[in-house]
């Protein structure tokens, strides 16, 4: 009887110790999990090669390593990172320079912490059987596609102003995502994102033995900044350590994704999320993206080109897209990482 009782006590002690250990393990894990900081990062566009670095950082656990639990959300024309940051649904996001400047003009409290694209991917594609555009006046007499209300309209208007081209000298056609008017040769010069749509169209036309050129306004001194990483002023002021951790992880992802040595890994990561394009296209898109993100080996990814931002602001002011100067330089914070 006594022996049985003693056995029961030992068993109870063992169960108690087991439960205690389990409890400690669970609470320990919960503590580790709780230490991770939850963040939402809203991209500007869908998951494809143009956001290679963002998804690379996520897939390779760079955010996790920094103690961050980042939810990388794909964007679309209807999803606006600035709105989401103001509404508290995202802490970081990607926005184009015109969005940022327009928002600052309306007193949004946001700051730019890194400039992802050093060269604007917004360029115009045209067939090589047409004369090459060597000077801006070569645009005269052509049928040019423009997305009314889009930043390509602002850029092209600046091109016209710089060249002294009036709207009567060219034919303007409003464009959408559908390339048919360009493919059917109804429009000569078509706006594309050089690293995504540009690659697809070039490939498509190459199959029909047609070759293309790209018209890049930056080659003619018109620098209009594209995508940058933004956050709220409050975040920079109150949680600078999180901003630094996030940006360091993100740019580490971009550096790795743009490194030709990691090309296969990067393409595999993109492939998991981008089902729209094929392997060949994605590879070419990655090469094109590399040139826009890191045009020279000496360029550090994320570098904010203040002069280009100022020029963008001036263009928008001239085009009456904003009422007053927003002193953009005060909203550009180059975080050292």
Chain residues binding another protein by CB under 8 A are 77-78, 80, 82-83, 86-88, 99, 102-103, 105-109, 147-150, 174, 176, 178, 180, 321
SS3 65: helix
CB-wise, 109 or 271, nearer to another protein?
109
Contact status, residue 178 vs residue 103, Cβ threshold 8 Å? no
Q: Which is nearer to another protein, 83 or 334 (CB)?
A: 83
Residue 295, classed as helix, strand or coil, is coil
CB of 26 to another protein, least distance (A): 37
Cβ proximity to another protein, 131 vs 174, nearer residue: 174
Q: Between the CA atoms of 71, 76, 81 and 82, what dihedral angle is there, to the nearest 10 degrees?
A: -170
22 or 276: whose CB is closer to another protein? 276
**Tokens standing for 307?**
């002069």
> In angstroms, what is the C-alpha Rg of the chain?
25
Look at the alpha carbons of 109, 112, 117, 120 in this order and tell me if their dihedral is positive or negative: positive
Q: How far is the CB of 331 from another protein (least distance, A)?
A: 13
Q: Taking the complex as a whole, how short is the minimal distance between the CB of residue 82 and another protein, in angstroms?
A: 6
Question: In the complex with another protein, which residue's Cβ is closer, 94 or 136?
Answer: 94
The CA-atom distances, in angstroms, between 164 and each of 135, 151, 157, 220, 275 are 12, 20, 10, 14, 44
Closest distance of CB 143 from another protein, Å: 14
Give least dist CB 273 to another protein, A. 23
**Residue 219 to residue 316: CA distance in whole angstroms:** 19
């Amino acid at each position: 009887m006594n022996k049985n009782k003693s056995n029961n006590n030992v068993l109870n002690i063992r169960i108690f110790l087991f439960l205690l250990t389990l409890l400690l393990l669970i609470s320990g894990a919960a503590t580790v999990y709780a230490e991770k900081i939850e963040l939402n990062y809203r991209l500007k566009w869908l998951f494809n090669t143009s956001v290679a670095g963002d998804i690379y950082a996520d897939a390779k656990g760079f955010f996790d390593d920094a103690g961050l639990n980042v939810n990388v959300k794909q964007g679309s024309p209807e999803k606006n990172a600035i709105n989401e940051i103001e509404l508290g649904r995202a802490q970081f996001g990607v926005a184009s320079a015109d969005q940022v400047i327009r928002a600052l003009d309306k007193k949004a409290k946001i700051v730019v912490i890194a400039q992802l694209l050093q060269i604007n991917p917004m360029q115009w594609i045209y067939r090589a059987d047409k004369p090459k555009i060597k000077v801006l006046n070569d645009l005269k007499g052509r049928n040019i596609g423009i997305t009314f209300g889009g930043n390509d309209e602002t850029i092209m208007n600046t091109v016209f102003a710089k060249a002294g081209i009036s709207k009567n000298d060219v034919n303007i056609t409003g464009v959408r995502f559908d390339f048919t008017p360009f493919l059917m040769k109804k429009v000569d010069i078509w706006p594309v994102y050089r690293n995504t749509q540009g690659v697809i169209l070039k490939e498509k036309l190459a199959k029909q033995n047609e070759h293309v050129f790209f018209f890049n306004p930056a080659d003619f001194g018109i620098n209009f900044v594209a995508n940058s990483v933004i956050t709220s002023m409050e975040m920079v002021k109150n949680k600078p350590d999180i901003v630094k951790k996030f940006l360091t992880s993100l740019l580490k992802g971009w550096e790795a994704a743009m490194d030709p040595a990691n090309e296969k890994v990067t393409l595999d990561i993109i492939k998991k999320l981008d089902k729209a394009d094929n392997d060949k296209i994605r590879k070419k898109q990655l090469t094109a993206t590399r040139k826009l993100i890191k045009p020279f080996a000496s360029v550090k990814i994320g570098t904010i080109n203040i002069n280009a931002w100022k020029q963008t602001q001036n263009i928008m002011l001239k085009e009456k897209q904003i009422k007053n100067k927003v002193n953009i330089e005060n909203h550009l914070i180059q975080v050292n990482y």
